[in-house]
Amino acid sequence: EVQLVESGGGLVQPGRSLRLSCTASGFTFGDYGMTWFRQAPGKGLEWVGFIRSKAYGATTEYAASVKGRFTISRDDSKSVVYLQMYSLKVEDTAVYYCGNNYGYNRADSWGQGTLVTVSS
C-alpha cells in the first residue's frame, strides 16, 4: 500500500524559512517524480511544483507564485522529498500535500497534508 506522510509544518513568521518533508513507502520511490500541492484555508487546490526522478535528471518545475523562494529536492536513499521554503509570506499559509507523479502527471496517491501558518 502506498503511503505518503508529510511533516514539518507549523507556525512561522513572515520572511522566515521552513522545510517540509514527505516520506514515502509502498512503491519504488526512485522511479517516480514527486509533486507538492497546497490549499489555502477555504480555497481550491494549487500545484506548487515537482521534481522528476533521477532518470530524468531530478529536475524541478515551480509555480510562478513560489519560484525563486521554494526549492524541491529528494533523497532516494531515504524515500523522502523535501520542500524548502524561504522568504515566507502570509499568503503561503496553507495545507501542503505531497503526491506521487504518475503518467499523465497525475497524483495517484496523496499524503494527509501538513499545515503551514505564516503569521507574525
Partner 1 sequence: DIQMTQSPSSLSASVGDRVTFTCRASQSITNYLNWYQQKPGKAPKLLIYAASSLRSGVPSRFSGSASGTDFTFTITSLQPEDFATYYCQQGYSTPYTFGQGTKLEIK
Give CA–CA dist 15/75, Å, rounded: 26
Task: Tell me the three cell numbers of residue 106.
Answer: 497525475
Closer CB to partner 1, 86 or 110, in the complex: 110
Q: Does 8 bind partner 1 (CB under 8 A)?
A: no
Binding window for partner 1 (CB under 8 A); candidates: 16-24, 68-76, 79-87, 111-119:
111-119
Q: What residues from 39 to 98 belong to the interface with partner 1 (CB under 8 A)?
A: 44-47, 50, 61-64, 97
Are 61 and 48 a contacting pair, CB within 8 Å? no
Name which position in 13, 17, 28, 112 contacts partner 1 (CB under 8 A): 112
In one letter, which amino acid is 23? Answer: T
> If binding means CB under 8 A, how many residues of this protein chain bind partner 1?
23
Q: Does 106 bind partner 1 (CB under 8 A)?
A: yes
Name which position in 7, 25, 59, 105 contacts partner 1 (CB under 8 A): 105
Give CA–CA dist 24/34, Å, rounded: 10
- Number of Cβ within 10 Å of residue 93's Cβ equals 17
